[in-house]
Amino acid sequence: MNIRPLSFHGAWEITPQQHGDPRGLFLEWYRFDRLEAEVGHPMRLAQANMSVSSKDVVRGIHFADVPAGQAKYVTCVRGAVLDVVVDLRVGSPTFGRWEGVRLDDVDRKALYIAEGMGHGFCALSDDATLSYLVSDVFRPDKEHGVHPLDPELGIDWQTAAPQLSARDAAAPSFAEMRDGGRLPDFDVCQARYKELGAGA
């Protein structure tokens, strides 16, 4: 397994080593010890989610209040998605930047996304199935969104016809969330990461 940081602190790409033969294949898609060594603290596993999306469906950009926040460990077990991470942490040197990684059932990569980061994806195939582990249970009052098609973010979703849920289509803009003081604070997130490391 190879773990590579993305272009900003708070997200990592994980590429597993696949062992195949005529019967099929085997791989480790999650290793708590390898992840902890790279990230600096363990990931608490509180819930496991799965979503199935038609081609061109865009979900996100979602994030949870910090503390406690919700770290995610995401992989695509069927089809393909463009998985997008956005640095929503006010005060971060890379605030407002995004990066996309293709997750599919060929390379079987995964992404680890730390608390305070925004997350979304676009289904590049029908029945694109995303499986993800999260560090906290779903708390509706702590969950928020930023409009995924906001031109200020300028995310290239690799589709000409994005399909959004009613919730995501009604999400506030990046500027509205920023100016309203509703985005995570970088220093608070950093303190949270240290707290998690101290508790290891």
Residues involved in catalysis = 62, 132
Looking from the CA of 187 toward its CB, the CA atoms found within 13 Å total: 1
Nearest to 27 by CA among 107, 132, 130: 107
- Any idea how long the chain is? 200
Instruction: Dig out the tokens for 179 from the structure.
Output: 């100016």
Residue 129, φ and ψ in degrees, nearest 5: -115, 115
